[in-house]
A = this chain, B = another copy of it.
Amino acid sequence: MKKIKVGILGCTGSVGQKLVRLLSSHSLFEISELAASESSAGKKYGDVVRWLESEEMSDRIANLVIKQCTNDLESKILFSALDASVAGEIESMLAENGYIIISNSKNHRMDSDVPLVIPEVNTSHLKLIHIQKRKGKGFIVTNPNCSTIVLSLALIPIYRSFGLKRVIVTTMQAISGAGYPGVASLDILGNIIPYIENEEEKIETEILKIFGNMENDSIKFADFKVSALCNRVPVRDGHLMSISFETEQKAKEEEILASIYEFNQKCKEENGLTVLHYMLEKGRPQPLLDVNRSGGMAVTVGNLRKCSVLDWKFTALGHNTIRGAAGAAIKNAEYLLKMGLI
């Protein structure tokens, strides 16, 4: 099968680089264009980018001349890892001009006609594409914030089986989530920073949209309560979470574990990969040992136990720049392709 040509907007940042790396060896997509800000445009990618991946870049990619993010781009399908300061306008403009934007940027996530999608969770929301199309020729599909994706995958089987009333999540987030250069080493070596700008708000609002239902042509948000407490920790990759939750219907431990197991089985049948893995060992999951399961696309959970305030508590972990960013966008594109939507 001939691969589909795609472009990458914001190709020089850390998520952009992860998209370049993951799409370089993709079976369905082929990078034909790289685009970035005016200051990089016109230069070869290999000369401009401060490459952070340990795998080497191919010569073909290194020699691609970076373009600007305009409607001169030839690829109809554009992955966007643009900085939030410019993503809003550029993505809107390109969608209006007929491009299909698969975006990791936060700007349009909460727009009422933009789907905020995790393929294993809420593909029904993609119906919003048609509403967008009434306005223009192209459309935008977004994936959630990195922490939201991990939390959503950890909770979706429980939400579906028993409903959720209240969730409190404390995150311990890796430094790669802050981009490059990102967090100064003097700030984080042997330290924790108990604050990440706007992160708590994103988690608390995005999950309610994702878990919402399509009703007519709009999404009715889920109505449980979520509170997030976010921390930056000296870990390279992987957001770890301590989660407490209260269910609508009371559930037993084995019922919760069964819901997780069954959800994963269903995902596996569809995609062949573990998406949500419950670990039986004490003290797991851990970022260092578990972040790369299923190539960084699996969320791992463990240590389910009674919570004396809400009903239950457990631990969850996901790779923030793969499952939580670049891999999430690619998974969205794969689904759209499979469904004939691109």
Tell me the A residues contacting B by CB distance below 8 Å: 52, 54, 166-168, 170, 172, 175-176, 180-195, 204, 225-227, 229, 231, 233-236, 240, 242, 244, 282-290, 292, 302-303, 307-310, 313, 315
- The 8 Å CB contact of A283, one of B168, B194, B289, is B194
Neighbour of A308 across the interface among B190, B225, B292, B307, CB < 8 A: B225
Report the Cα distance A198→B170, complex, angstroms: 20
Selected A-B contacts with CB under 8 Å, 11 pairs: A54-B289, A167-B309, A168-B244, A182-B186, A183-B184, A183-B186, A190-B190, A190-B287, A192-B286, A227-B307, A234-B235
Closest beta carbon of chain B to A332's beta carbon, Å: 26
Residue in B190, B227, B282, B286 whose beta carbon sits within 8 Å of that of A309 in the complex: B227
Give the CA-CA distance A244 to B172 in the complex, in Å: 16
Q: If A168-B244, A309-B167 touch, does A193 touch B231 (CB 8 Å cutoff)?
A: no
Residues of B within 8 A of A168 (CB): 168, 244, 307, 309-310
User: A183, A192, A283, A290 — which one has the most chain B CB atoms within 10 A of its CB?
Assistant: A192
* C-alpha spacing A302/B194, complex, angstroms: 9
Q: Is the CB of B193 within 8 A of A190?
A: no
Query: Do A235 and B188 touch (CB < 8 A)?
Result: no
For A166, what are the chain B residues with a Cβ–Cβ distance below 8 Å?
A: 309
> In the complex, A308→B223 CA distance in Å?
12
